[in-house]
Amino acid sequence: MTQSVVVQVGQCGNQVGCRFWDLALREHAHVNKRGLYDEALSSFFRNYEGICWGHILTYLHPQAVLIDMEEGVVHGILQGPLREVFDSTQLLTDVSGSGNNWAVGNLMYGSAYRDSIVNKLRKAAEHCDCLQCFFLIHSMGGGTGSGLGTRVLSLLEEEFPDVCRIVTAMYPSAEDDVITSPYNSVLAMRELTEHADCVLPVENQSLVDIVNKISLMSHDAKPGCVLKKESTVTSGQGGVSPTERPFDAMNNIVANLLLNITSSSRFDGSLNMDLNEIANNLVPFPRLHYLVPSLTPLYTLADVNIPTRRLDQMFSDAFSKEHQLIRADPKHSLYLACALMVRGNVQVSDLRRNIERLRPSLPFVSWNQEGWKTGLCSVPPVGHAHSLLALANNTCVKPTFMELRDRFTKLYKKKAHLHHYLHVDGMEQSAFSEALSSLSALIEEYHHLDATKARLIPDAPRLSIAR
Amino acid sequence: MSVVTVQLGQCGNQVGQELFDVMCSDARDVHRKTYSAVSCERFFRQTTQGALEARAVLIDMEPKVINHSMSKAAKSGRWRYGETSHFSQKQGSGNNWANGYCVLGPRHRDAVEELVRREVEHCDMLAGFIPIMSVAGGTGSGVGTFITQCLRDVYPSSFVLNHLTWPYGTGEVIVQNYNSVLTLAHLYQLSDAILVHENDIVHKICSQLLKIKQISFSDINRVIAHQLGGVLQPTLTPASCGAYSRHPIGIDWQVCPPPASAGRSRSLSAGSFNTSLANLLILRGKDVYSAETGGFEDPAIYTSWLPPDEALSLWKSPVPFNKYEKSATLVSNSQALLRPLDDMVRKAWNMFASRAYIHQYVKFGISEEDFLDSFTSLEQVISSYSELQ
């Protein structure tokens, strides 16, 4: 059994991270009825006395490092019900924040706290028997999450080159109220492209849309109807925290994403899918590692015995725009690869039937016509009989990145707010132009693949053998 | 004579557990003392308390499946795996053949060889090895290929019969075609015989013949175990004079075609048959001695340079197998696998032509040259089989 460490950076990263730990505890409590420390728990938690199987859960420590350059959020976590669970050696805070400035986060705090960060990461890693993955959670638009978060990413690559780095990055919407978010996002993108193994981009607006949709559906639910009022995907009910704060519903969705992606490494199944298989199967070229996540179902059904039709509906939903965590249109772009991680009582024949059914409507790149990676985990998530997480490496991220580049260029052309960045020690204007070219090169790679979509690519001529 | 089974990766360990289950219940339920004794001796050993332990070594790079298989076996109450007959690590091979073959196999070679050696020591007379693995993933395919090589090196005079499970054509693992091509190209040089089951075909058996509605991997594995058991359980041949003395896995497929210039005559042009090099028909149960098998000797089925009576082997056992009153198994060395093999190579080649995923393999120590060698090797196999007439 392998372990993973979660590194949450900045306000957004810590809020999402907090929801993740709450929901993880809820999930394990649901599965682990006897309260004994087992292998599944060990992937994210250690027992206070060290890793010993079969011990009662005396004191669970999440394998986490919490970093923020202002104290509000982390202190909030420490006042809340999860305070028992973290200890001070896992935290790194400062007081003044990064002023929504990537350079402050990455260069100023990055240098000042470099050794401290590396020490905390090393400590977390030492507690792990076999460390497989770092999950980094941060937003792209601010200063700490974006700047210091990406600095942590490059430190992870330096110090732990063999450990997988999966980044959950929250991208700002066009209407974001932080004026400099395009700068921060593009500067961070370059780091993600170069140092991450996989990136799961999540857009705030998509989360808002999903939350609205769920509450609309639940409120419309008439008595006797099968939909439950509270969706376990967005609700923290049954978790540790008693009251729900603003953004909790949105952050719960991201937390569920992380629970589902790790389900097959934690629990049994007839076709296991480990974390190291995700990058190996979904990343055909090193820089094209942006995977569009899509989560179903979103509503909790009161009736957990679901007939086949509902099961098939779950597969169809995974490919609909409404269930994606970024606003994009994969069906009209090109799939490079797609992973389906199924949880619950779903068998291989259900999987095959749905792949065959959906395949004709999904455009796959010519050299990966059967580009499916599948996993079957027998343990369903809390409140559902089954669930499906689809991770698609699809060129539909190109418009998202192009839009980001446009917002960046609008500001950069006018040299707006540049001086705030250039004031920071170590920040040069070349960083901006390099980040821009990195993004443009990435867009170009996707574009190149897109161009193959319309053309009929013949099979590559085979080797001829001397008879 | 005893056989040591080496179960590799998730598929190998899941299939292996079902196989031992079938063989144990077949051997135990049947009221034929000699058959039962021979079968048990072949695949199991008896502990001092009289319990049956499988002659198996379980290998995986992560622990969950082995734990599951061992506890499932123990729950049956009739047989179990040896307490110490397993080896696992904490982290899997990531579906990467190169990781399995170049890194993990060599790293754990000594531990695995030691486990095999201990199992071999329990055998009075070793017939050979059956590595069971899939070709789509990383451990079964990569580590499996490496271990097969080790078995060859350490036990040069023992038979090695590899059982391979080929994945569904429409993707279980995206890089499955790379893993398959690399495995098959290597095993071709190492193995005495390769027995293949394709998930697609077994799936059809489950849905169309067995009418199972919601097919699980357990269903698939049970069909594979049944067919494999049908091949491996004791049988009699005309030469064995009523004793189960035939080599359990001595399937001799070594045939040498005549030079191309020799003239060939053919009896019937049979364009609709897959041409066979050789067939092995195994009949079990009632009426085996009166069964009409002439059809299997039709020269139309076979390649022209082997007379049918040399190309067809017939094994019989009057003992009903696995609760079937009568059953027949056909093991065929023919063009039947040509189409799936060609498809696999074609898809892998298309992927290779765009260099997709190559960086994932190169980082573990194989080169583009190694890929090309494997492709060349398989194109030759395809060519040889295509030209059978």
Complex confidence, ipTM: 0.85
Q: Is residue A197 within 8 Å of A164, Cβ to Cβ?
A: yes
Radius of gyration for chain B, computed over Cα atoms and rounded to the nearest angstrom:
21
B268 touches chain A (CB under 8 A): no
Closest CA to B223 of B248, B198, B244: B198
pLDDT of B212 strictly over 50? yes
CB contact under 8 A, A276 and B92: yes
Which residues, at least 6 apart from A452, have a Cβ–Cβ distance to it below 8 Å?
A334, A365, A366
Q: Which pairs with CB-CB distance under 8 Å and at least 24 residues apart come from A85-88?
A: A85/A21, A85/A25, A85/A60, A85/A61, A86/A61, A86/A62, A87/A61
The CA distance from A117 to the nearest CA of chain B, in Å, is 26
- Which range is least confidently modeled, A96-105, A215-224, A368-377, B322-331? A215-224
CB contact under 8 A, B171 and A370: yes
* pTM for the structure as a whole: 0.89
Closest CA to A167 of A136, A133, A139: A136
Q: Which residues pair with A301 in a beta bridge?
A: A227
pLDDT more than 70, % of chain A:
89
Q: How far apart are CA A327 and CA A153, in angstroms?
A: 25
Residue in the structure block whose two tokens are 């193994």: A197
Please, what is the angle between helix B338-353 and helix B176-190, to 10°?
Answer: 120
The amino acid occupying position B204 is: K
Provide mean pLDDT across the span B213-233: 93
Radius of gyration for chain A, computed over Cα atoms and rounded to the nearest angstrom:
22
User: What's the whole-number average pLDDT of chain A?
Assistant: 86
The amino acid occupying position A184 is: N
The H-assigned helical ranges of A91-138 are 102-103, 110-112, 114-126
CB contact under 8 A, B170 and A370: yes
The CA distance from B25 to the nearest CA of chain A, in Å, is 23
Position B270 confidence tier, pLDDT thresholds 50, 70, 90: very low
Residue A91 sits at φ, ψ, to 5 deg, of -110, 150
pLDDT of A465 strictly over 80? no
CB contact under 8 A, A271 and B172: yes
pLDDT in tens, B292-317: 888 888 888 888 888 888 888 888 88
- The domains located in chain A, with CATH, are 3-47+58-398 (3.40.50.1440), 399-455 (1.10.287)
Which chain A residue lies closest to B381 (C-alpha atoms)? A465
Q: How many contacts does A have with B, using Cβ atoms within 8 A? A: 137
pLDDT in tens, B119-171: 999 999 999 999 999 999 999 999 999 999 999 999 999 999 999 999 998 87
If phi over 0 gives left and psi between -120 and 50 gives alpha, with beta otherwise, what is residue A97?
A: left
Which chain A residue lies closest to B358 (C-alpha atoms)? A284
Q: How far apart are CA B65 and CA B328, in angstroms?
A: 32
Distances (CA, A) of A295 to A388, B17, B73, B358: 6, 34, 36, 30
B33 touches chain A (CB under 8 A): no
pLDDT of B256 strictly over 60? no
Q: Find chain A residues with C-beta within 8 A of B220's C-beta.
A: 348
Q: Find chain A residues with C-beta within 8 A of B14's C-beta.
A: 270
Which chain B residue lies closest to A308 (C-alpha atoms)? B214
Q: Select from A163, A276, A335 the residue whose CB has the most chain B CBs within 10 Å, as the one to mutate to test that interface.
A: A276
If phi over 0 gives left and psi between -120 and 50 gives alpha, with beta otherwise, what is residue B281?
A: beta
Q: Which residues pair with A294 in a beta bridge?
A: A324, A390
A117 touches chain B (CB under 8 A): no
Quick one: tokens of B4? 């040591």
Task: Please report the residues numbered 271 through 290 in chain A whose beta carbons come closer than 8 angstroms to any beta carbon of chain B.
Answer: 271-272, 274, 276-277, 279-286
Higher pLDDT, B239 or B92: B92
The CA distance from A292 to the nearest CA of chain B, in Å, is 17
Residue among A276, A349, A370 whose CB faces B169 most closely? A370
Q: Is residue B91 within 8 Å of A132, Cβ to Cβ?
A: yes
Closest CA to A152 of A20, A7, A6: A7
Position B267 confidence tier, pLDDT thresholds 50, 70, 90: very low
pLDDT of B251 strictly over 70? no
Residue B69 sits at φ, ψ, to 5 deg, of -65, -40
Upstream peptide bond of A330 is cis (omega within 30 degrees of 0): no
Position A39 confidence tier, pLDDT thresholds 50, 70, 90: confident
Q: Select from B60, B61, B64 the residue whose CB has the most chain A CBs within 10 Å, as the one to mutate to test that interface.
A: B64
Which chain B residue lies closest to A4 (C-alpha atoms)? B91
The CA distance from A460 to the nearest CA of chain B, in Å, is 6
Q: Is residue A388 within 8 Å of A340, Cβ to Cβ?
A: yes
Q: Is residue A389 within 8 Å of A254, Cβ to Cβ?
A: no
Please, what is the angle between helix B9-29 and helix B64-76, to 10°?
Answer: 10
pLDDT in the model for residue A57: 56
Q: How far apart are CA A236 and CA A248, in angstroms?
A: 8
A373 touches chain B (CB under 8 A): yes
Q: Find chain B residues with C-beta within 8 A of A279's C-beta.
A: 94, 360
pLDDT of A36 strictly over 80? no
Q: Is residue A61 within 8 Å of A83, Cβ to Cβ?
A: no
Quick one: tokens of B316? 């019989």
CB contact under 8 A, A373 and B174: yes
The CA distance from B216 to the nearest CA of chain A, in Å, is 5
pLDDT in the model for residue A242: 60
pLDDT of B258 strictly over 70? no
Provide mean pLDDT across the span B228-240: 84
The CA distance from B386 to the nearest CA of chain A, in Å, is 12
B17 by DSSP, 3-state: which?
A: helix
Q: How far apart are CA A98 and CA A92, in angstroms?
A: 14
pLDDT in tens, A275-312: 889 989 999 999 999 999 999 887 654 444 445 567 88
Neighbouring C-beta atoms of residue A292, cutoff 10 Å: 23
Largest CA distance in chain B: 64
pLDDT in tens, A248-281: 888 989 999 999 998 988 888 888 888 889 989 9
Strand A198-203 vs strand A372-377: parallel, antiparallel, or unpaired? unpaired
Largest CA distance in chain A: 77
Burial label for A220, CB within 10 Å (0-12, 13-18, 19+), is exposed
Q: Find chain A residues with C-beta within 8 A of B10's C-beta.
A: 271-272
Closest CA to A320 of A290, A279, A361, A351: A361
Q: How far apart are CA B162 and CA B159, in angstroms?
A: 10
Residue among B68, B349, B359 whose CB faces A462 most closely? B349
pLDDT in tens, B165-201: 999 988 789 999 999 999 999 999 999 999 999 999 9
pLDDT of A229 strictly over 70? no
Q: Is residue B72 within 8 Å of B13, Cβ to Cβ?
A: no
pLDDT in the model for residue A303: 41
CB contact under 8 A, A465 and B95: no
CB contact under 8 A, B350 and A459: yes
pLDDT of B118 strictly over 60? yes
CB contact under 8 A, A462 and B346: yes
B96 touches chain A (CB under 8 A): yes
User: What's the whole-number average pLDDT of chain B?
Assistant: 89
A456 touches chain B (CB under 8 A): no
Q: Is residue A183 within 8 Å of A102, Cβ to Cβ?
A: yes
B207 touches chain A (CB under 8 A): yes
Q: How far apart are CA A179 and CA A176, in angstroms?
A: 7
Q: How far apart are CA B146 and CA A227, in angstroms?
A: 53
Position A415 confidence tier, pLDDT thresholds 50, 70, 90: very high
Which residues, at least 6 apart from B99, have a Cβ–Cβ distance to it below 8 Å?
B93, B138, B142, B364
pLDDT in tens, A176-201: 788 999 999 999 999 999 999 999 99
CB contact under 8 A, A462 and B350: no
The amino acid occupying position A258 is: L
Q: How far apart are CA A348 and CA A142, in angstroms?
A: 43
pLDDT in the model for residue A268: 83
Closest CA to B357 of B377, B346, B371, B343: B371
CB contact under 8 A, B171 and A352: no
The CA distance from B268 to the nearest CA of chain A, in Å, is 26
Burial label for A356, CB within 10 Å (0-12, 13-18, 19+), is exposed
The order of strands in the sheet holding B326-334 is: B312-317, B276-285, B326-334
Task: Please report the residues numbered 279 through 318 in chain B whose beta carbons come closer than 8 angstroms to any beta carbon of chain A.
Answer: none
